[in-house]
Amino acid sequence: MRKSTLLFGLLCSALFFCTGVINAAGNYIPVRLPKGVSVELPKNWKIQSDNNRILVNSWLEAKGWIDGTSAKAFTAHYFDDTDRMRAIFNIHYYPDLEVTQAEARAFSKADVKELNRLLRLDLEASCDTTGMKIIDWVGTTKKNINGATVFVTEYRRSPSMKGSNNFCVRLVRILNEKKSFTIVISYDEQMAFLLRPICDKIINSIRI
């Protein structure tokens, strides 16, 4: 197995990410993203468009599915009643990767352990350049989500701006050759009891 190539591909993706709450099933809406990716997002999360914040639900009603052929990032946020950002969802694609799902499934426990070590080193260095700090490293695990092999990395970071709280961050990587991507979903730990289950549902809805 091309272990060095596979680990390098996953490692490179890490460098991009140091930068009314609802929970009922009917309050989520399927969003189709580029390259065959779909996910369910809460209807009251907001998309930034032309310097305006638009509800996910309103965006889809006005423009249809979020779809396209580009590999540009897509971002949605949850703002509380005080207009404070409490959770973030974004996705980035890696059209130059050659790692397949079959190769991802073949990763051993030792491979995942080494990947976790390298990711931690690089994420800590990357966060340092932005003024943030990783304050707790939970680690990287290999999982199966809706038939896809994924690598989930979780850590806690310090605030990105003065006056905000620590955030819990999860990076969900799916290696699928030119359709490879990483979804990053994070939330304000002050609202973990509400936002953690919502973020879990979003992650578990990812399909390729």
The residue ranges of DSSP E strands in 22-99, in sequence order, are 28-33, 37-42, 46-49, 52-55, 74-79, 85-93
Q: How far is residue 36 CA from its own chain's centroid? A: 16
Q: Look up the domain containing 161 and give its range.
A: 3-18+26-204
Question: Considering only CA atoms, which of 134, 151, 133 is closest in space to residue 142?
Answer: 151
Give me the residue label for tokens 């953690």: 196
Mean pLDDT of 171-195: 95
What residue spans of 41-153 are helical by DSSP H? 56-63, 101-105, 109-130
Longest distance between any two alpha carbons in the chain, whole Å: 51
pLDDT at position 72 is 54
What local confidence, expressed as pLDDT, does residue 202 receive? 97
CATH number of the domain enclosing 153: 3.40.1000.10
Please give the average per-residue pLDDT across 145-151, as a whole number: 97
Residue percentage of the chain with pLDDT more than 70: 79
Looking at the structure of the chain, the number of domains it has is: 1
- Please give the residue that has the higher pLDDT: either 62 or 19: 62
Whether the per-residue pLDDT at 20 is higher than 50: the answer is no
Give which of 40, 42, 47 is closest to 23, Cα–Cα: 42
Q: What is the pLDDT of residue 157?
A: 93
State how far the Cα of 122 lies from the Cα of 132, in Å rounded to an integer: 13
Nearest-angstrom CA–CA distance, 165 and 195: 14
pLDDT digits (tens, 9 = 90+) for 24-71: 557 898 888 888 899 999 999 998 766 678 888 776 766 555 544 444
The answer, yes or no, to whether residue 4 has pLDDT greater than 60, is no
Structure pTM? 0.84
